[in-house]
Structure 1
Amino acid sequence: MAFALRSPGAVRAPASAQRASGVRAAKPGLLRSAAVARPRVATNAAAISVPVNQLTDEERANLARELGYKSIGKELPDGVTLTDIIKSMPQEVFQKDHGKAWRACLTSIAACAACWYLISISPWYLLPAAWALAGTAFTGFFVIGHDCGHRSFHENNLVEDIVGHLFFAPLIYPFEPWRIKHNHHHAHTNKLVEDTAWHPVTEEDMKKWDPTSAMLYKIFLGTPLKLWASVGHWLVWHFDLKKYTPKQQTRVIISLAVVYGFMMTVFPALIYFGGPWAFVKYWLMPWLGYHFWMSTFTVVHHTAPHIPFKKAEEWNAAKAQLSGTVHCDFPGWVEFLTHDISWHVPHHVAPKIPWYNLRKATESLRQNWGEYMTECTFNWRVVKNICTECHVYDEKVNYKPFDYQKEETLFAVQRRVLPDTAAY
C-alpha cells in the first residue's frame, strides 16, 4: 500500500533538501520525478522526496492541491505527546449520552428496514442503487458495534458486549476477534509490520511471490478492487483461533458461535422462502456495499503519499494518530447513515470518544492542532492515487507503485483511464 504520485506537476522539494540528498533538482514548481529519485523507474510517477516538515507553507499548499487534499499539515513537533493532544480537548467530548447511542441503533435498524423494502420493490435496473444505499446503512451497524468495542457506547460493558455482538452478527463479523485486532491497530497505527489494518507491501514480501501470487496481489491491491479488500482482511484475521492467546480464545469462541448461529438461521430462511436469489439480493449485495465503505474509510484515513509508515524504533504515537490520520468529508447522507465514522482524527487521538461527539472533537483539534492535520473531500484523485500508486513501502519516499521498476500494462491503463478530478 505505497505511493508515488503520477502527476504533471507538483511541489518542488526545497533546494536545501535537494542538496543534502545529492539529488538533481527538478524543474521549478515540480516534484522531482521518480525516475530522478530511482533511476530504474520507467513510469512518469512523482514521489514525495522530502519530509513534510521540510516544505514551506506554500509548498505544502501546492502539494495538497496536486494530491487532491484541502490541506496537508506540518509534521507534529517531537516534544508533543498524545496526552497533550487529548488534554487540549473539552471534557464533554468524552461524555456518553445513552439516549443518542440508542437512537443511533433505532436509526440504523430503520434505515436497513427501509433499504430492504426499497430492494424488494426496485426493478432490476435500480437494484445497484438500492444495494449501495443498503450497504451504507449496513455500515451503521458496524459503527454501533465499533463504539461498543471501544467502550464508548454505554457505561455497562455487558450491555456493550451484547449490543456489539447483535449488530455485528448480520455483518458476519465476530465481535471479540475484531475488537482485539482493531485495538491493536489503534495501538500501532501506521507502524510498519505491527499495524493490522492497512499495511504497505515490502520488497522482501514481493520477492517471495510466485507469478500467481504476484498477479492476485496486484489485482486486488493495485486496482479499485482494493476498495473491497477488507473482505480478505475479515476472512484472514477474524476466524483463526491460532491468532489469539488461550486467555482470549473463550471470548473469541463465543463471538464465532454468535456469527455461525446467525448464518445457520437467517441464511437458510432467506433461501427457503426466497431462493438463492433472495440471499444474494437481500444480504450478499448489501454486505459487499458495507465492505466498500469499510475498505474505503480505512484506506483513505490511513494512506497518503506524505504520511509514512514507520519502523517501531522511529514510530511516534502522537504523530501517527493526529498527523498520520486523514480527515475526509463524505456526502452528508453517507455520514448520516454511517454515524460520522469519517470524522476520524479524534477517534484515533482518543478512541473512547463516542461517535456523536466526533464533530465537536474535530473542531477542537482544528483550533488547537489544525496546522498539523491533513484534510480532504472524498474525490477521484485521492482514490486513484491510492489504488494505482500506493503499494510498496519505501523508506525514503514513503511509497511507490507495484511497477516501480518498469511500468506494467495493468497500471498504465488505469493511470490513463481512471478519472483524476479533485474536488475540495
Structure 2
Amino acid sequence: MEQPYIVLIVVSRQLSHKHHHKNTGNIDKDEVFYPVRKSKDPNVRMLLPGFGLGIGWFMYLVHGYRPRGVAHFNLWFPMFRGHFFQCAVSLASLVAWCLVLNWFRLTFGLSALLYHHTVPTSIFATYIVIITFLHHSEEGVPWYGDDIWTNVRGQLSSVDRVYGWCHSIIHNIGTHQVHHLFPKVPHYRLEEATVHFRKAFPSLVNIRDDRILPSFCRMFLKYARQCTVGDDESIHVYK
C-alpha cells in the first residue's frame, strides 16, 4: 500500500533527488544527511533517535533536511521553479488520496486502515531513511566542501552495501557507487556493472559487508557527534 505515496509525490521528490545526484558528497549543496557548517548549525541541534525513522521521512517531505530545507509540498519552492503544474497535480493527487483513505477508514474501520496502509507505509518510510543514510555515510568516506568538490569525487563517496534477503527486492540499489557514477544503468544491470567497476578500479571501491541495522546505529551515533564541521573545512571524514 505504500506505492501511492511514491506516485503522488513523484515530481517534487524526483526534483530533490535529482539535486542530490548533481551534488552528491558536497557539504554545501547536497540534499540530505550532509555535515552541517558550524555557522549554520542551530544553537540547539536536535536529532530524533535514528533520525526518527519512518516519522523522520515524513518530516523530511514537509520540512526538508535542515538547514537547507526542501519543502516538497511548497509549490513555490525555488527548486521546483519551472515545474509548477506537475507539482500542483502531485499535490492535488495527494489530497485526493487522503480523501480515499478517509473513506476507507469510515467504511472498513481504523484497524483496517492501520493494517493495510499505515503500518506498511511506516515500514517503507523507515527503510527509506536507513538506506538513504547508509548510502553516503561511513567511516573513512569523505565529504567535500564546495571549494574542492567535483562530480566524480562526490559520486565516488557513495557506499556499496548488501541488504541480505531483500537486496534484490529493493532493485539492487545497495550497489550504490555505480548507480551514482552511471545513473542511467538500469537496476537489473547494477550488479553486473559493479563487478566490472571493482575489477577496473579496486582502489576506488567503497564497500561494507557488516549487518545493516548495527551499521545504521553505529553511523547515526557518529553522525550525531561529528556532523558539525568548521566553516573553512574542505574535507570531512567520520572517524
Q: Could you tell me the TM-score, scaled by structure 1's length?
A: 0.49
Residue type at the aligned position of 1:385:
R
User: Quick check: 1:273 aligned with 2:114?
Assistant: no
Determine which of 50, 62, 86 is the counterpart of 1:235: 62
5+ residue gaps, structure 1: 1-111, 113-137, 139-166, 402-424
Q: Which residue of 2 aligns with 1:377?
A: 209
- The reply on whether 1:338 has 2:170 as its aligned counterpart is yes
Secondary structure (helix, strand or coil) at the match of 1:341 reads coil
Matches within 5 A, 1:4-15: none
Partner of 1:386: 219
246 and 390 in structure 1: CA distance in 2 versus 1, 3 angstrom threshold: closer
Q: Deviation at 1:241?
A: 1.5
Deviation at 1:294, TM superposition (A): 0.7
1:336 counterpart SS class: coil
Task: Name the amino acid aligned to 1:233.
Answer: Y
In structure 2, distance between residues paired with 1:201 and 1:287: 29
Distance 1:296 1:272, change over 3 A: same
Map 1:112-191 onto structure 2 (within 5 A). Answer: 138=2, 167=3, 169-171=4-6, 173-191=8-26
SS at the partner of 1:196? Answer: coil
Deviation at 1:370, TM superposition (A): 2.4
The secondary structure found in structure 1 opposite 2:192 is helix
Matched, 1:261 2:96: yes
Q: Percent identity?
A: 18
**Deviation, structure 1 residue 185:** 0.2
Deviates more, 1:351-360 or 1:275-284: 275-284
Q: 1:248 to 1:192 in 2, by over 3 A?
A: same
Q: Offset of 1:231 from its aligned partner?
A: 2.4
Kindly name which structure, 1 or 2, has the bigger radius of gyration based on alpha carbons: 1
Find the aligned partners of 1:354 and 1:364 in 2 and give their Cα distance: 15
Cα pair distance change 1:252/1:367, threshold 3 Å: same
User: Over residues 258-314 of structure 1, what are the superposed CA-to-partner deviations in whole Å (9 max), with x where a residue is unaligned?
Assistant: 22222222x023202221222222111111111111111111110113122212121
Distance 1:299 1:365, change over 3 A: same
TM-score normalised by the chain length of structure 2? 0.83
Partner Cα distance (2:123, 2:134) in 1? 16
Specify the SS of the correspondent of 2:161. strand
**Which residue number corresponds to residue 368 of structure 1?**
200
**In the alignment, structure 1 residue 304 sits paired with structure 2 residue 130:** no
SS in structure 1 at match of 2:32: coil
Look up the match of 1:398.
Answer: 236
Tell me if 1:353 matches 2:191: no
What is the CA–CA distance in structure 2 between the aligned matches of 1:260 and 1:247, rounded to whole Å? 22
Q: How many residues align?
A: 224
> 1:251 aligns to what?
86
Match of 2:50 in 1: 224
Give 1:199's aligned amino acid: Y
Structure 2: gaps (5+ residues) = 64-70
Q: Displacement, 1:376?
A: 1.2
Secondary structure of the 2:30 match is coil
